[in-house]
Chain A
Amino acid sequence: MMRDGRVYSEDRGGDSIRECARNIESSVSVIINTVEKVREDVLRLWQQALRRRRHVTRRDLAELQETVKRLLSEADVQINGAGFVVAPDVLADARLHLEWWREGVKPGHVIPLKVNLDEEGNTFYDYPNMPWFHKPQAEGVGHVIGPYVDIMGIDMYIFTFSLPIVYDDRFLGIAGADVPVGNLEAVVTRHLVEQNHPLVLVNDDMRVIASNSSEYLVGEFFKPYAYSGSQSRFYITLDHSVESWRLVCLH
């Protein structure tokens, strides 16, 4: 059971690593399902509001809080926050708006994420230009961005899962969820350390998400060519997202 040296059992462990990749995939799918449910709820609220009036305001979105609260308590990956980030000029009463709820200090409580939306301000949270917003907007598909350092928002090292919300051919914004890197790691690493081979979980850009070896650290790029041995890759699909992750096994 040497992980760092080059001594491994004869069994290359293809099946058990495939199993490991599936476990990771199912943990991650919980996050994606959460985002999917946020999207459904936003569409429901949107429709509801439009039945009453010709436009939608911030108040119409208030119910989302309960949905996010329930979803955060149900997910077994600790999601920091989730919600609806509204496209510019879509709401009648605010040019920019986030209906975003995050875990509070008290367990089971959620608090609104407060950011500065004053476009002239020094601390402006310029979300229309952030990859998790403009990529789903431009491409019409979901994205998983990260790991990255967020500033002006929750100021943490996170992944953002986001899905575009489209109603009547109009882009309303994105449904999203933030997962701190450490929280995802807590779920993933226990699967990785069960294996005898060095394993590296990387994102679409080959950036390391987690690994069972200190040679491959989160946030760094994994350079496949720098490793002389053989490698096998197991794909981890992220449902509606264009990105996929890979579990790289070094033999």
Chain B
Amino acid sequence: MNHQSSQQVVSLFRVPSAGKTEQVVRWLIEAIELGIFTEEDQLPSEADLASQIGVATVTVREALSLLREQGFVETRRGRKGGSFVTANFDMVHARLLAEFRRYSISDLRDYGDERAAISGHAARLAAERAGADEHEQIAKKVRIMEHATDRSQQRRADMRFHVNVAQISQSVRLTQAEMQLQSELGMFLWITPLNVEALYAYVGRLKAIQGAMAAGDSTLAGALAADLSKKNTARMIDTRLQLESANEVTTREGDQ
């Protein structure tokens, strides 16, 4: 039993062990879209990428070859050779939106329901099971979110907050569930960054969860976390709906 669980690689932003080439493609697209790698950047070696993403080197190689065919990366030979990003932001952003369109509103609502269950219960348990060290960790995550100005930072800070709460719940299963939910659809919450006011309100919500945890109020912490999930789902669905209308406009324009 122990061997089985020790071989599982399910990590924050990593691909579940059952991951396919397509998921590595998605991981790389997201990384480029978030500006972690930009146009003309050299990507880490296949072996390094494999260990970062948590998949076999051969899977990375397949993913890179798919991306090469689609013109997102190119491979250069020679001593300073390797894989280089050739896609610009617009290309990867369009690709990500296309990905997002594949989810229906009902898919997204369903995703939100699951996240509310996972995050809500994780926060509930975390309020019961957090010690002094853990309260400090959460406070630190909130501070990072307060200073997150661009979407890449906001996405990362938000993800770390939620994964940390799940970790504090002392449940490996809840932590892994939270990480999988984050890596599957979490990205679509950050298609547009929160502006100063919205960020202030968002941080207020995180602080409220932090406060309930510090007070050991598990019912409140759970309710606040579930409510935040619900709000986030609504925001994601709004973005998805806007995409739908933008899509229609283009189609109509195309018809004329």
Contacts and interface: CB of A to CB of B under 8 A. Distances in A.
Interface of A: 78, 80, 102-103, 105, 114-116, 118, 120-123, 131, 147-149, 151-152, 154-157, 180, 182-183, 205, 207, 218-221
Contacts of B163: 151
Contacts of B3: 103, 105
B170 A131 contact: no
B10 A155 contact: yes
Contacts of B6: 80, 102-103, 154, 156, 180
Given A151-B175, A152-B11, A155-B8, A78 B129 contact: no
The A interface, classified by DSSP as helix, strand, loop or mixed, is loop
B4 to A, nearest CB: 10
| B9, B51, B172 — most chain A CB neighbours (10 Å) | B172
A123 B14 contact: yes
Contact of B51 (A114, A131, A147, A207): A114
A167 B51 CA distance: 32
B245 interface: no
Given A78-B2, A122-B36, A157 B170 contact: yes
B55 to A, nearest CB: 12
B64 to A, nearest CB: 18
Nearest to A114: B51
Contacts of A114: 51
27 contacts: A105-B3, A115-B51, A121-B52, A122-B13, A122-B36, A123-B11, A123-B52, A123-B54, A149-B167, A149-B172, A151-B11, A151-B179, A152-B11, A155-B176, A156-B172, A157-B170, A180-B2, A180-B5, A182-B1, A183-B2, A205-B131, A205-B132, A219-B129, A219-B170, A219-B171, A220-B128, A221-B128
Given A131-B133, A149-B172, A155 B11 contact: yes
Contacts of A80: 2, 6
A56 B132 CA distance: 37
A152 to B, nearest CB: 5
A155 B172 contact: yes
Interface of B: 1-3, 5-14, 31, 36, 44, 51-54, 128-129, 131-133, 156, 163, 166-167, 169-172, 175-176, 179
A156 B5 CA distance: 7
Contacts of B175: 149, 151
A221 B167 contact: no
Given A182-B2, A205-B132, A221-B129, 17 more contacts: A80-B6, A102-B6, A103-B6, A121-B36, A121-B52, A122-B12, A122-B156, A123-B53, A123-B54, A147-B170, A148-B170, A149-B171, A152-B11, A157-B172, A207-B129, A207-B131, A218-B170
B150 to A, nearest CB: 14
Contacts of B179: 151
Contacts of A219: 129, 170-171
Nearest to B30: A122
> Among B1, B12, B128, which residue has the most Cβ atoms of chain A within 10 A?
B12
Contacts of B1: 182
Contacts of A149: 166-167, 169-172, 175
A247 B92 CA distance: 57
A123 B13 contact: yes
A10 B5 CA distance: 44
Contacts of B171: 149, 219
- Give the interface centre of B14, B31, B53 by most chain A CB atoms within 10 Å: B14
Nearest to B159: A122
Nearest to B9: A155
Task: Across the A-B interface, give the 8 residue pairs with the lowest CB-CB distance, nearest first.
Answer: A219-B170, A122-B13, A114-B51, A149-B167, A116-B52, A157-B172, A205-B131, A149-B175
Contacts of A156: 5-6, 172
A116 B36 CA distance: 15
B95 to A, nearest CB: 19
Contacts of A120: 36
Contacts of A157: 170, 172
